[in-house]
Chains A and B, each alone.
Chain A
Amino acid sequence: MSEEIILRVENLTKRFGGVVAVDQVSFEVRRGEFLGLIGPNGSGKTTLINLITGFVKPTSGRILYLNQEITHQPPYRIACMGVARSFQMVRAFHRIPAFKNLIVPLYSPRVKKLGGGKYGERDDIAVDLLDDFGFERDSLVPYKTAGSLPHGYLKRLDLARCMALRPDLLILDELFSGMTMSEVAATLPLIEKFNREGLTIMMVEHRLKELFRVAHRVIVLNFGRKIADGPPKEAMNHEEVQKAYLGTEVEG
């Protein structure tokens, strides 16, 4: 993990009418870091991701990626700068084969520039890529219609879609929700490997046990505010964090 700050969020706020979804959140992410983003439901985690990746415009605040201001950039430009994100609700193209789902990122200007796919090669690149994620190349699985695959496969497909973009920063939104223990056990080492190879990862998760095994640092959100920022053990010992997750005792 280097000292280079690859993502900086400054006083980010998002209001939806009267509701403050994200409230003056600031933090930094270093290159190569594995950052966890946790908090109770409704604490603003997905909104934060949407803000960073450009799907939602902030009410105030700044976001800098690689020292460039991306606060108001459209999602596709941010993606082309190297930020990939997965979706909480699985969004795959259900009516086409699984491997064809990867064509879109492979067709992007970023991959074209990095020398990813030439005409006719993309199909093979897609199938190869999927092989790393548990879609065995020699089986029928990559060729099955995405809609016919079970949930765990679709989650991994989403992950593969992100990785097809050759990102520098990977943001995962509850990737493990809905996956079985064995699927998680198979996927987590993979993500860890990517992180060791230099990929910066920001991961929203509810399965804290798995997350704490791999995360260098976690940020805890509650009601849109950042209430803790540090190594997992330290953050969980924070009184406010415990209150947020477990509640307080009622007097009497």
Chain B
Amino acid sequence: MAGPSRYRKERIDRGIKARSDTIYVLSSYREMVYILLPRILPIFFLLIFPLVVGGGYWGKVVFYSCTFALLALSWDLLASVGLVSLGQALFFGVGSYVAGGFNHYLKWPIFLTIPVATIGGAFICSLLLIPVLRLRGVYFSMVTLILPLLFDHLIETLEILGGTHGLLSLTPFPNHWMAVYIAILAVIVCLFGFRRLIHEDYGFVLRGIREDDRVVMAGGINIYWYKTQTIFIAGGIGCLAGALMTHYYQFVGRSAFALDNTILPLAGAVLGGSGNFAGAVLGTFILVPLSEALRALGGLRMALYSLILIGALAILPEGIFHYLERKYHQFERIVSI
């Protein structure tokens, strides 16, 4: 017998996880619930929550949470292929102004402006960002950061598209419930859609590009085409968020390109955990209500999100969702060596 006994922490899958990993999950109700619960619960929650909260002030907050969740999901998709966007505000702003512009100047109805903003906005954003795809990753971050800030300045100084006052009195949604449930539906579709996508072979290619793009190229894949596709999809979703917000607010102004619309989804996605999309939704659904509650702090809120962002990066880089997931599937114990 030699030396003092040493201990280490061991993480083991829970029994129920092991039992429910195969087809035999169908043999037990308990195991089926274990599998289905994490998927059904959020959908249930998302669908019921707006009704519980009501149509008043907090109903608005639910809507905001959804639009920012869409921005966070868009960010997460770009991050999955290795593109770090510091300019979700770009997508948001482009979508807002396309929808607002067509509605204001051409009097297009809402069921036309929103799809046009989504698809058209996606095209515009892709065109702007494709040139930097062949450069180092930092260029993408830089260009996404600088473009919305420049567009903001531009609108203000050139007095175009409504200038500092913005475009007012745009067509609203028929009623609050329609707006909220369209937004919720979009979040659910994107959330589960992106998760499915990332676990399919297509998603593996995307993640491979992030991990080591030389090997992917040696395997015959045109990485720039896949990056472009990702920008198109993510851009479209960001533009959709902008378009939805524009019609909810019945207003679009240069604030659409503000840094707020970049930092809040970014902080939410990182807080919740990047890479799994559920974290993006979770994080924004935490931060947006928090932000509303702290309305009084005004601009200081951005500093707060940034601090939370830094804190998350330093302390819990995997994010809240991944942490919860791990706790759900595994338990820890101390074993002696």
A-side residues, CB < 8 A to B, are 53, 55, 74-77, 79-80, 84-85, 87, 91-93, 95-96, 100, 103-111, 119, 122, 161, 164-165
> What are the residues of chain B within 8 A of A165 when measuring CB–CB?
219-220
Distance between Cα atoms of A80 and B218 in the complex (Å)? 9
B217 pairs with A75, CB closer than 8 A = yes
- For A85, the closest partner residue in chain B by CB is B218
Partner of A79, one of B202, B207, B212, B220: B220
A104 pairs with B205, CB closer than 8 A = yes
Distance between Cα atoms of A91 and B215 in the complex (Å)? 7
Chain B contact surface mostly: helix
Partner of B220, one of A100, A105, A122: A105
B220 pairs with A110, CB closer than 8 A = yes
Q: Which of B212, B215, B218 has the most CB atoms of chain A within a 10 A radius of its CB?
A: B218
Distance between Cα atoms of A96 and B207 in the complex (Å)? 10
20 extra A-B contacts, CB within 8 A, seeds A87-B214, A93-B207: A74-B222, A76-B222, A76-B223, A77-B222, A79-B218, A84-B218, A85-B218, A87-B215, A91-B212, A92-B215, A93-B211, A95-B211, A103-B208, A104-B215, A105-B220, A106-B201, A108-B220, A108-B221, A110-B220, A122-B201
Residues of chain B in range 196-211 having any CB-CB distance to chain A below 8 Å: 201-202, 204-205, 207-208, 211
B216 interface contact, C-beta 8 A:
yes
- For A102, the closest partner residue in chain B by CB is B219
B219 pairs with A161, CB closer than 8 A = yes
Interface string of B213-243 (1 = CB under 8 A from A): 0111111111100000000000000000000
Chain A contact surface mostly: helix
> What are the residues of chain A within 8 A of B218 when measuring CB–CB?
53, 75-76, 79, 84-85, 87
Distance between Cα atoms of A165 and B218 in the complex (Å)? 9
> What are the residues of chain B within 8 A of A76 when measuring CB–CB?
217-223
A111 pairs with B220, CB closer than 8 A = yes
Distance between Cα atoms of A105 and B201 in the complex (Å)? 11
Return A72 CB to nearest CB of chain B, in Å.
14
What are 14 A-to-B residue pairs whose CB atoms are below 8 Å?
A53-B218, A55-B214, A55-B217, A75-B217, A76-B221, A79-B218, A85-B218, A91-B212, A93-B208, A93-B211, A93-B215, A105-B220, A107-B202, A108-B221
> What are the residues of chain B within 8 A of A161 when measuring CB–CB?
215, 219
> What are the residues of chain A within 8 A of B202 when measuring CB–CB?
107
Return A116 CB to nearest CB of chain B, in Å.
11
Distance between Cα atoms of A93 and B204 in the complex (Å)? 10
Residues of chain B in range 19-51 having any CB-CB distance to chain A below 8 Å: none
A107 pairs with B217, CB closer than 8 A = no
> What are the residues of chain A within 8 A of B208 when measuring CB–CB?
93, 103-104
Distance between Cα atoms of A109 and B212 in the complex (Å)? 19
> What are the residues of chain B within 8 A of A77 when measuring CB–CB?
222
Distance between Cα atoms of A165 and B219 in the complex (Å)? 7
> What are the residues of chain B within 8 A of A122 when measuring CB–CB?
201
Distance between Cα atoms of A208 and B202 in the complex (Å)? 41
A107 pairs with B212, CB closer than 8 A = no
> What are the residues of chain A within 8 A of B204 when measuring CB–CB?
96, 100, 103-104, 107
Interface string of B55-94 (1 = CB under 8 A from A): 0000000000000000000000000000000000000000
- For B200, the closest partner residue in chain A by CB is A119
Return B221 CB to nearest CB of chain A, in Å.
5
Distance between Cα atoms of A103 and B207 in the complex (Å)? 12
- For A162, the closest partner residue in chain B by CB is B218
> What are the residues of chain A within 8 A of B201 when measuring CB–CB?
103, 106-107, 119, 122
Return A52 CB to nearest CB of chain B, in Å.
12
Please list the 4 inter-chain residue pairs (A to B) with the smallest Cβ-Cβ separation, ordered nearest first: A108-B220, A79-B220, A105-B219, A104-B219
- For A77, the closest partner residue in chain B by CB is B222
Partner of B205, one of A53, A84, A85, A103: A103
B211 pairs with A107, CB closer than 8 A = no
- For A93, the closest partner residue in chain B by CB is B211
> What are the residues of chain B within 8 A of A107 when measuring CB–CB?
201-202, 204-205, 219, 221
Distance between Cα atoms of A115 and B224 in the complex (Å)? 24
Return B189 CB to nearest CB of chain A, in Å.
21
- For A110, the closest partner residue in chain B by CB is B220
Return A81 CB to nearest CB of chain B, in Å.
9
Distance between Cα atoms of A74 and B201 in the complex (Å)? 23
